[in-house]
Structure 1
């Protein structure tokens, strides 16, 4: 793996999944304090993984969306941070500086406007995944918001304004042609992934079930932001098994500049092999 890619946010990246075009659309980036973000990774282990840290000793994580296109139709998975910037708070246990704002411009580079998007689907309702869905005036003027029912049932009042445009979905429902929503609870009560499949190829977009490529090697490492660490670990292990299939690719939204990849065996462990 090119170590420099682990220390920078992802550029706009596109691949094909059968007849579907899938693109990572950058919005910005967040910096994470490693010993707070992944507290199971004790300090002495971080000395072995310095290549994952930038020059300020932070894990680099993206804020962006995943655009799925079928002809003229468009689905966006997660609406990211939005037009905001937050400096690092020394008192916060794991989050450093965060900024967004680039998503509309990057959609334009792909030949899309926010008004073209027919569906915005959420893995979960944390603020760094819903930002552009909550701006005024609305950015996605004609989109339906697809929200996992189990996530909506445990929603924060701050997202209540999404309700008039929302469609609640259950585990396994199809949200767009070729895109289904498996339940991946643990990070939040209703956290959901998306399986994008066409012509014998699958892409698993697993949201925050995996925060860093390091969790592919160490699935026992839970993020401090996981509401139910034990449940989250069970789903991480199941995801890794799925990602070992030769017909399956993965998409890790927070995986720095290695968002698309495969999981490969590495002795007794598994590793992320970026594309």
Structure 2
């Protein structure tokens, strides 16, 4: 499916369903947890009303950007890794600021559709410690003191965990405390699962991590919140209101977009509507982000 077809199909303004790709012996699957509706001018402060008037394909009928909320399941040789953990079984409506409404709650059901129970997950590797990525990792099995992912280690970049006091100051002390007993810090370049290497790309947060997954002659870059919307592929200088260091994030995003244009390279953006897997193609008149569905 071309990006132009994706526009016609409405994929840029709806949350993603389950989508899977095969990278040699490794299978990667987007696992939906819910969706987020975002006020575009508040999220991307360098944009204008004229920008969004020119690109209505990114907005729903209420004028909001629609993003996906979920996780990436990585399976290899019977083993299973989860990258991020969705928003969890909750819903919030926010009267002002970038987020208008965010909901989670589907992730365990969608995992089951993919043939996986939470106990199958050997580790949850976080891109960063924001609530829409921690989600289910902070919840308990109903009627038990056990976490939902009963056997999983929680992998957090060393710099991100070292800066966790910043999250406590933002009202997330409870989530940090819930994670702490299972946290194992990881460092730049470390292999955390067969064919999965972490690379630390600060900017969105102090120790934001990306995960590079290789197999079958291809690589996939799970880039976390380096990008919040496909429109940023065309304008990587547009940073998000949630970026801890907007200038640093923009610099990294320029490099990331160039990397995603390299041969045999696929990107995964957990929030990128129904085009979570894609590649960058700079030719033609349409947007550069083209979905990859196989």
TM-score by length of 2: 0.90
Moved more, 72-81 or 155-164: 155-164
> How many residues align structurally?
273
Aligned mates of 2:285, 2:12 — CA distance in 1:
23
Deviations 1:130-169 (A, max 9, x none): 0101012311000000000111111123213212111101
Alignment of 1:111-130 (within 5 A): 111-130=115-134
Matched residue SS, 2:201: coil
Match of 1:146 among 155, 166, 171: 155
Match of 1:208 among 218, 225, 239: 225
Deviations 1:146-201 (A, max 9, x none): 00011111112321321211110111111111001111111111101000001321
Give the aligned partner of residue 91 of structure 2.
Answer: 85
How far is 1:42 from its partner?
1.7
Q: Is the 2:228–2:240 contact (alpha carbons within 8 Å) kept by the matching residues of 1?
A: yes
Give the aligned partner of residue 144 of structure 2.
Answer: none
Q: Does the alignment pair 1:256 with 2:273?
A: yes
Aligned mates of 1:9, 1:267 — CA distance in 2:
26
Matched residue SS, 2:42: helix
Q: Is the 1:37–1:223 contact (alpha carbons within 8 Å) kept by the matching residues of 2?
A: yes
- Cα distance change, pair 219–178 in 1 and its aligned pair in 2 (3 A): same
Give the aligned partner of residue 217 of structure 1.
Answer: 234
Aligned mates of 2:157, 2:265 — CA distance in 1:
23
Give the aligned partner of residue 74 of structure 1.
Answer: 80
How far is 1:203 from its partner?
0.3
Match of 1:34 among 37, 40, 48: 40
Q: Does the alignment pair 1:62 with 2:68?
A: yes
- Note the residue ranges of structure 2 that are not aligned, 5 or more in a row: 142-146
Aligned mates of 2:282, 2:27 — CA distance in 1:
28
Higher helix share: 2
Q: Is the 2:29–2:72 contact (alpha carbons within 8 Å) kept by the matching residues of 1?
A: yes
Deviations 1:72-93 (A, max 9, x none): 1000000110000112x22x21
- Note the residue ranges of structure 1 that are not aligned, 5 or more in a row: none
Q: Is the 2:39–2:97 contact (alpha carbons within 8 Å) kept by the matching residues of 1?
A: yes
Aligned mates of 2:66, 2:178 — CA distance in 1:
31
Matched residue SS, 1:44: helix
How far is 1:252 from its partner?
0.9
Matched residue SS, 2:209: coil
Q: Does the alignment pair 1:169 with 2:172?
A: no
TM-score by length of 1: 0.96
Q: Is the 2:198–2:211 contact (alpha carbons within 8 Å) kept by the matching residues of 1?
A: yes
How far is 1:44 from its partner?
1.6
Give the aligned partner of residue 99 of structure 1.
Answer: 103
Q: Is the 2:231–2:287 contact (alpha carbons within 8 Å) kept by the matching residues of 1?
A: no
Aligned mates of 1:51, 1:199 — CA distance in 2:
34
Aligned mates of 1:244, 1:86 — CA distance in 2:
36
Aligned mates of 1:269, 1:114 — CA distance in 2:
40
Give the aligned partner of residue 182 of structure 1.
Answer: 199
Moved more, 186-195 or 259-268: 259-268
- Cα distance change, pair 54–270 in 1 and its aligned pair in 2 (3 A): closer
| Displacement over 4 Å in runs of 4+ | 267-270
How far is 1:57 from its partner?
0.5
Give the aligned partner of residue 139 of structure 2.
Answer: 135
